[in-house]
Amino acid sequence: MNNRFEPLKSISTRREFLLVAGTGVLSATALNAFAKDSSRDGTSAVQGENLPAGDSSKRRAAAVVWKNDVEGGEVEVTYAALHALDRPAKENGAADSPGDFSLVPGVKRLEIRIDDAHTESGARATRVTVRFRKRNAGSELPAAGFTFFLRDIAPNTPILVRGLQVAVLAADDRRTYEQVDAAVRAKKLQSERELIDAAPEETYEGACRGTKEMRCPTWLGLGRDMRIFRVMPLDSVGYWGYVEPYDLVRSAIPAEGRDPGRYYFILGRGARCSVDIVRRLEDGVLPIVKSTQRDGDIEYSLTLFATLEKEPLTADNVRGTHWLAAYANSSGKMLTKNETAQYDQMLPAEVTQREQELICRVRVEAVNRGSVPRYAYAKAGYIKANALEGVGTAKFIEGRRTNAEGKVMAVNLLNGEPMPQEEMAILIQPGEKETFDFIFPHRPLTHERAAAAGKQSYEAHYGACKAFWRNKLAQGARISLPDAVIEERLRAGLLHLDIATLGLSESGPLAAFVGWYAPIGSESAPIIQFYDSLGYHRWAERCIQLFLDRQRDDGFIQTCLGYQLETGPVLWTIGEHFRYTRDVAWARRIEPNVLKACRYLLDWRRRNMKEELRGKGYGLLEGKVADPQDFYHSFMLNALTYLGLKRVVEMYAGIDPDAVAEVQRELAPYLADIRKSYAENVARSPVIPLGNGTWIPSFSPWAEYAGPVSLYADGGSWLSHYMFASRDSLIGALYLGIGEVLDPNEQLSEWLLYAHQELMTHRNAGFSQPYYCRHDWLHLRRGEVKQYLKTYYNQFASLQDRETYTFWEHYVGVGESQHKTHEEAWFLMQTRWMLWEEDYDSGTLRLLSMIPRAWLEAGKEIVLEKCKSYFGEFDLRVRSIAPDGRVEAAVRLHGPAKNWPKTVVFRLPHPAGLQPSEVRGGQFDVRTESVILTPAKESMSVVLRY
């Protein structure tokens, strides 16, 4: 798909203007003073009174009115010709020099007349950019400038931009700014932001009512091992079920025709007019599926889990898969010639001739819940999708399904003995049960091995599997919440990440796969950072090592699908890991890799320090950040690059400051260049309407375009990933916040956040692939609890399977986007931010800053143990005690005191919004409902009484 858009040079006219007191229009003297003999930046200039005639049949006029005085500025018209800026009858102001002018106070109106205007629907409509300088204004960003589509001017919906205190009207509309503002306020409309703030806090139940439900296959595996099973009921027909053995993206068994490589088994009488199947995870969190299928009086209770062929699971007998073998079987891999040769050599040992196979065990108990005898039905495991067509070349011998090569694909047992037939109807007395076992090897077994697997104790494997996963959870932080909906998802999520984190168990790099996609510096970042948050530092370090081991000699890091942004995010994650661990020895060990990456990024920046890029990407890296082939000066690319470089300087400032001196010198200029390009981009981007009747400046995903590409200001074809605004919303300017380029509370951030919210979210959740949207971080840092919770609940309530907690990548649920750990990891990080987050520069640890009020209802408790922050390990306990209306909170800090935060902030919101009558232990901030404790001590406690 060609996403290039036409250059603007030949179709843009820029004009300097002077405003005259009392008239709000331009002087002829000013026009003469600013006239040029040659074009500037490819635009045509106007020679004094000799204005271009243009096409008067397409002449349009607009008026710009301000609330306060302005000194002057310029007008630029794109896709039209500037005819005139109306002049007063007599002049009482004059320009001091070209580009500068004086103004008698009182001017608040400018009229602009345009020829050859394009105001029809579609791309490349005429737009007008007005830049101005307020009287006594400094040079701080944002620049005073804005752009509007000429066609957007309408009598009943004036373009009112409160953030700039300016409005745009039809030329015959003589209202002042104040009159326009009053008229809009009189309508009492509300923006998306205001609607959310006026409503009660979002809840999981409310989000479920307002979003669609998506069911997703569940991955069963061991962690470290690329062999997985994907299990799911056959929702389209209404019964269980299938088991898909995969080496990540590659099926481990041959497909039959157009059907996937998939084992099937069938329970129940068949497809019917209703479906009654529920699923759940063991303990609500373990990768063991528990399911119930009801068919009349017969209840089929299923348990599905992955185990080893010859022995029950233990931590010691899970070997894992070499990361390169797993990487070679992933989607998006970018193998070098050397890696391909290595993989060919290790193929037998790592893939086709493993010492023992992975096994998916399916236990089914068919129970008669009725009062009379009833028949239970079952079909033994097979590999053909369409039961009407039989089972192809497979044979059924003594309960074992064999393939054409005579190897066993499934062992089928009834009450511990081989099933006598492949299809059975069994009459079950009331209250009694029959037990089926379906044993599916990851790759077909010999008859001898299959017979031995069938004799393995189900109870021993089941018990060992539970203990195996519970032990992994016990190694990290413990989080107990008053809401099982979230607590279970936190614990299950960690294990979902683990299943897709592959490598040899004992040592060596680990690959943080994003579902079945190869590791990506950007998408693996939240996975690794969540590991660090819960104390799995060794896992995190090994995941980082994979990227360093694959780093090119020139310093560039690239692992997946030709993405060009990975180097910066990897450096960011390295810096985050160091904040958690303060591991100086590790930092010294990887220093050559880090410095090499920095040099590559700085050289890349210098290649873009071209004068023609001033304001449109000067000093910014250009490149592709995701799937779309967009090789532009992306704000996401540069935000994450800047953040990575900034973390490197911070990390080595106390270790080897000379080594990072060049990077440190470049940080401030790089930041300034990104901000200048973004501010200029906002000024050139058309304002968009909000629900409250006002308008707000918009933004582009990269420096070259004007406004969201989804508004087609400069044309192009941008539909991608099931949405029009994928570039604008998912891989664009929102990263300037989390990338520490924009302060969350500055004007540019507010415009970015709420232009995005109004145009590119539904229920404050992004479209299609919402966990790429970093509006969550801006809401967090701006303290906007209701906005944050609206995003938090509505994103996962739909994208995540509500029964087994597996995430899809997209709302459309395409097959390759299942078990998407990038999405799940950002959900987990959002939950972590809700519970604890840090301001590293100020030394502040914020606790419970985004939790729902309902979590502090009487009798509820929040417990965090062994959680990791930038300031070391900490424990937290909060109790809301009935009936005396008391809230008690205590935190304990661990580790060296030199690493502790300077300030600890507890947010303790009352369920009904009440203010405490008594506060013990700290200073209460009414606005944030928080208790501030400074200086921090090893043990701190707070008591609030109401």
pLDDT tens digits, 716-760: 999 999 999 999 999 999 999 999 999 999 999 999 999 999 999
pLDDT for 604 beyond 60: yes
Per-residue confidence (pLDDT) for residue 57, from 0 to 100:
67
- Mean pLDDT, all residues of the chain: 90
pLDDT for 143 beyond 60: no
Least confident segment among 55-69, 387-401, 781-795: 387-401
Least confident segment among 219-223, 394-398, 507-511, 529-533: 394-398
Is the pTM higher than 0.95? The answer reads no
Taking the CB of residue 327, how many other CB atoms lie within 10 A of it? Answer: 28
Distance in angstroms (rounded) separating the CA atoms of residues 117 and 151: 9
Tens digits of per-residue pLDDT, 333-362? Answer: 999 999 999 999 999 899 888 889 999 999
pLDDT for 779 beyond 80: yes
Question: Could you tell me the end-to-end alpha-carbon distance of the chain, in angstroms, rounded to an integer?
Answer: 62
Q: Where are the alpha helices (DSSP H) in 66-151?
A: none
Rounded alpha-carbon distances, angstroms, from residue 507 to 19, 319, 458, 582, 821: 71, 10, 31, 21, 22
pLDDT grade, residue 104 (50/70/90)? low
Least confident segment among 189-203, 509-523, 803-817, 823-837: 803-817
CB 846 within 8 A of CB 905: yes
> Average pLDDT for residues 643-650, to the nearest whole number?
98
pLDDT for 647 beyond 50: yes
pLDDT for 136 beyond 70: no
pLDDT for 102 beyond 60: no
Per-residue confidence (pLDDT) for residue 717, from 0 to 100:
95
Tens digits of per-residue pLDDT, 288-311? Answer: 999 999 999 999 999 999 999 999
Within 13 A of 360's CA, how many CA atoms are on the CB side? 34
pLDDT for 39 beyond 90: no
**Which segments of 40-170 are extended strands (E)?**
60-66, 70-78, 81-85, 109-115, 127-134, 145-149, 159-161, 166-170
Per-residue confidence (pLDDT) for residue 206, from 0 to 100:
98
Tens digits of per-residue pLDDT, 215-253? Answer: 999 999 999 999 999 999 999 999 999 999 999 999 998
> Average pLDDT for residues 133-151, to the nearest whole number?
72
The pLDDT > 90 percentage for the chain reads: 82
Taking the CB of residue 606, how many other CB atoms lie within 10 A of it? Answer: 11
CB 135 within 8 A of CB 69: yes
pLDDT grade, residue 566 (50/70/90)? very high
pLDDT grade, residue 103 (50/70/90)? very low
Per-residue confidence (pLDDT) for residue 885, from 0 to 100:
85
Distance in angstroms (rounded) separating the CA atoms of residues 842 and 840: 6
Per-residue confidence (pLDDT) for residue 70, from 0 to 100:
82
> Average pLDDT for residues 808-835, to the nearest whole number?
94
pLDDT grade, residue 255 (50/70/90)? low
Per-residue confidence (pLDDT) for residue 109, from 0 to 100:
87
pLDDT for 44 beyond 50: no
pLDDT for 202 beyond 50: yes
More confident residue, 945 or 94: 945
Per-residue confidence (pLDDT) for residue 36, from 0 to 100:
31
Query: What is the DSSP secondary-structure string of 425-466?
Result: EEEE-TT-EEEEEEEEESS-B-HHHHHHHHHS-HHHHHHHHH
Q: Give the closest residue to 359 by CA, choosing from 178, 225, 489, 241.
A: 225
Per-residue confidence (pLDDT) for residue 253, from 0 to 100:
85
pLDDT grade, residue 52 (50/70/90)? very low
Which span out of 14-18, 103-107, 915-919 was modeled with the highest average pLDDT? Answer: 915-919
DSSP symbol at 62? E
User: Across-strand partners of 632?
Assistant: 623
> Average pLDDT for residues 71-84, to the nearest whole number?
86
Per-residue confidence (pLDDT) for residue 258, from 0 to 100:
54
DSSP symbol at 419? -
Distance in angstroms (rounded) separating the CA atoms of residues 429 and 367: 9
CB 813 within 8 A of CB 823: no
Per-residue confidence (pLDDT) for residue 37, from 0 to 100:
29
DSSP symbol at 405? T
DSSP symbol at 388? G
pLDDT grade, residue 676 (50/70/90)? very high
Per-residue confidence (pLDDT) for residue 816, from 0 to 100:
74
Q: Give the closest residue to 303 by CA, choosing from 423, 412, 220, 234.
A: 220
Per-residue confidence (pLDDT) for residue 110, from 0 to 100:
86
